[in-house]
Amino acid sequence: MKSPFIVFKGGKIATPLGVRRADVLVDSKSGRILRISSHILSKGARAINCHSLILLPGAIDPHVHMRDPEDTSKESFSTGTASALSGGVTTIIDMPCYRNPATTTIPAYNKKRAIARKKCRCDYQLRFGASERNQKEAARSNSPSLKVFLADTGSELSCSYAAAARHFAAFPKEKPICVHAEDSARINARKLRFVEHEKVRDKISAQIACEKALKFAARAGRRRIHMCHLTTAKEVDMCRRHQNATYEINPAHLHLCIDDLRDLGFLGKVNPPLRDRTEMKRLWRKVGDDTIMASDHAPHLPRQKKSGAPGFPGVGTLLPLMLQAVHSRKLTLPRLARITSYNAARAFSLSGKGEIAEGKDADIVLVDMARKWRISAKNRLSKCGWTPFEGAEIYGKIEGVYLRGRLAYDGKKVLSRAGNGKEVK
């Protein structure tokens, strides 16, 4: 019989505090990291030679739309979590569905949980959706976090500022409320003047809504608030001034700007939109030890993009793009470990996650920083079948992904089966 023990030998372990060369002993039965030490005897255990590799904590993507059960023709928990694993993401937090049914009621939330339990290949958590009137139900839902859309979604999953303020007061204060902040009034007014998506939903629309959300949250006392997909430096500054706020940045907003719309065409539409090159550079300079990276994985089919669906698939490119940023010296490995794993685990209280440390879950990503590879929709495995980064050549090849001590992705194929994922408490 195969030993349940694995020793990762001689790799460089990236932690928020530094990089250290050590052996890591893992028990694939309990799924935990047992010991980290400079030399661990591998007798009786399986040894994996990691001398030329970096060991990263499994990435956490706290903002994905896997579309199950809303529209599984474009993605499902099974295909979306396969894509996650191909990109070193071992835990996702899935956003509420907009419709069919919108995850704004307790029965719909529980139904979705049952589907996730059967289909997820990596670990997961689900987020409840706020509507104009479901404050009491949201508060009773047991969901570890809540999503508030301060923007028109064309479904019941949207809130006015007044409804959002009532959610801020009603939802348990220690649990984060995640906010998509764009000001509907300003957007609607600009629709009359502009046709270009990025002009209609401009930077100021995002900044106004961000400021208001933070103000309402402050009025609700020591309420945890998390600002989704910030696109401007000013919003990051606002969050940094607020005591109980965390925030996320989508790697797409660090790597693409309105100049790229020439090549991307209709595929380049996203909410909030791509910004100008100067703003993109400013946003990059804001990336710091408090940043949380999140992909806002929105896997629409090309024909749906053609008819105006906003969003990019991104769960499979989040870590690869940030590894390339390490290669080009925009980021250090300790900061990478922080912003792709540690900070999200803390912000969303994901127990066992976020770090390669004794006692934690053995979610480990093996990376060869010297190896170059090419991003393509084919190797990113999302059912939507495209990526805005098609053909990009990048450094930092993911050679293996371990989920709770078991090989879940071998660098080519996903080995973790649907149903292997566990809900994170």
**In the chain, how many H helices and how many E strands?**
16, 17
Catalytic-role residue among 68, 296, 361, 368: 296
Nearest Cα neighbor of 360 from 55, 61, 83, 143 is 55
Name the residue nearer to Zn ion (CB basis): 90 or 231.
Answer: 231
Name the residue nearer to Zn ion (CB basis): 209 or 319.
Answer: 209
**Site stretch for Zn ion (CB under 5 A), options 154-162, 175-183, 330-338, 377-385:** 175-183
Q: Phi and psi of 223, rounded to 5°?
A: -90, 135
Its sign, for the CA torsion 192, 194, 195, 198, is negative
Residue 350: CB minimum distance to Zn ion, A: 18
Kindly give the pairing relationship between strand 46-49 and strand 54-57.
Answer: unpaired
How many residues touch Zn ion under the rule CB under 5 A: the total is 2
Q: Is 244 exposed, middle or buried (0-12, 13-18, 19+ CB in 10 A)?
A: middle
CA distance linking residue 110 with residue 105, whole number of Å = 9
Name the residue nearer to Zn ion (CB basis): 57 or 62.
Answer: 62
Residue 309: CB minimum distance to Zn ion, A: 12
Rule CB under 5 A: say whether 147 interacts with Zn ion: no
Residue 268: CB minimum distance to ligand DOR, A: 11
Q: Do residues 108 and 101 lie in contact, with contact meaning Cβ atoms separated by under 8 Å?
A: yes
CB neighbours of residue 400 within 10 Å? 21
Residue 272: CB minimum distance to ligand DOR, A: 7
Name the residue nearer to ligand DOR (CB basis): 27 or 235.
Answer: 235
Residue 411: CB minimum distance to ligand DOR, A: 29
- The alpha carbon of 371 is separated from its chain's Cα centroid by a whole number of angstroms, namely 24
Rule CB under 5 A: say whether 180 interacts with Zn ion: yes
Q: Is 218 exposed, middle or buried (0-12, 13-18, 19+ CB in 10 A)?
A: middle
Q: Which does 302 bind (CB under 5 to 8 A by kind): ligand DOR, Zn ion, none?
A: none
Q: Which does 270 bind (CB under 5 to 8 A by kind): Zn ion, ligand DOR, none?
A: ligand DOR
Q: Footprint of ligand DOR on this chain (CB under 6 A)?
A: 65, 180, 270-271, 296, 298, 310-311
Name the residue nearer to ligand DOR (CB basis): 271 or 416.
Answer: 271
Name the residue nearer to ligand DOR (CB basis): 335 or 383.
Answer: 383
Q: What is the DSSP string of 8-49?
A: EEEEEEEETTEEEEEEEEEETTTTEEEEEES----TTSEEEE
Question: For this structure, is 296 an active site residue?
Answer: yes
Binding to Zn ion, residues 280-299 (CB under 5 A):
296
Q: Do residues 322 and 338 lie in contact, with contact meaning Cβ atoms separated by under 8 Å?
A: no
Rule CB under 5 A: say whether 253 interacts with Zn ion: no
Tokens 């595929």 belong to 267
Residue 323: CB minimum distance to ligand DOR, A: 24
When CB distances to ligand DOR are compared, the closest residue is 311
**Could you list the active site residues?**
296
Residues at the interface with Zn ion (CB under 5 A): 180, 296
